[in-house]
Amino acid sequence: MTASSSSAAALPERLQTILRNDVQGMHAYAVQPSAGFVKLDAMENPFQLPPELQAELGRRLGAVAINRYPGARIDELKAALAAHIDLPEGCALMLGNGSDELISLLAMACDRPGATLLAPVPGFVMYAMSAQLQGLAFVGVPLTPDFELDEAAMLEAIELHRPAITYIAYPNNPTANLFDDAVIERIVAAVGRQNGLVVFDEAYQPFASRSWMARAGEFDHVLVMRTLSKFGLAGIRLGYMVGPAALVAEIDKVRPPYNVSVLNAEAALFALEHADEYARQAALLRQERERLQAALREMPGVKAWPSEANMILVRVADSKAAFEGMKRQGVLIKHVAALHPLLANCLRLTVGTPDENDRMIAALRASL
């Protein structure tokens, strides 16, 4: 776990007066210790590259001029990403140190007096955290009990709060579902009438059946954000955002110079050159997701929601007992019940390798 608010108590009182009170009172993003566990808590791609590609990547990284600031190679990466996604006409692309940085930069760019960020909840915690750290208001609109968008509540909140940014995670985290496109169309139109931005967060796109990327050029107020983390490169921290060129150019002004390292850029370029290997891995994970779903349907007392990501949300009778029982058997998942009342007794299972999934299924059965 990273440092949390409890560390503030150890600060000398004279230094506590320097730091913001809300920062001292908040909790940092928590990462579970995972050493010795089958790690299925963070939606990572569980597959490494084949040995021959590992060796080739090592040679490539060894030749990088790490004594120089990132330069033209970053532009080459942007061009490669644009080709990979078939960048829509009239759009531009900017890079971030993971999607987290892009979320922070968006909050910074839209930080005007009285500005509000809005998102369905439960959702990705960084939307609310970025608002708080930037001094913006955050409005969370609860999903329905089946984790669909509450259209009436969303439209009412948009009308009332006129948010600068409305986030739509597509698929959503931690619920793993794609929202109804007809509802989304009406939300996009409503935000446009209020002169706000809609940001589609497509972090789990490699596992989803639908995307808004091809439509990014249709609207002057829509941005689409993705990451290479779920592509298979969680360790290099690289996200990117696509939208109308004029809008992206303005947001890019708040991006720190050299925010993407030459090593990260080279690893990403290498991955794009071998996109077929990552596509093969994603296809296998989608197959494993369906196998997991079938196994979960056979477990008494377990409700599993449909998934368009590399995770599955499940509800059990006693999620704390199931989580602790699985840990005792060496399988680490995510206990999400405390994140929102709608997630009562819910666990989030990452889709792993076939062997890891077998162990997760057995551990869950034994822990119910």
- Crossing angle of helices 262-273 and 51-62, in 10° steps, is 140
In this prediction, residue 270 carries a pLDDT of: 96
Dist CA 275 CA 163 (whole Å): 37
Domain with CATH 3.40.640.10 in the chain: 65-273
CATH code for the structural domain at 32-49+276-367: 3.90.1150.10
Q: Which residues of the chain have a pLDDT value below 50?
A: 1-8
* 176-227 per-position pLDDT tens digit: 999 999 999 999 999 999 999 999 999 999 999 999 999 999 999 999 999 9
Closest CA to 39 of 259, 356, 258: 356
Classify the phi-psi angles of 195: left when phi > 0, otherwise alpha if psi is within -120 to 50, otherwise beta. left
In this prediction, residue 1 carries a pLDDT of: 36
Closest CA to 205 of 84, 48, 57: 84
Domain 65-273, what fold? Aspartate Aminotransferase; domain 2 (3.40.640)
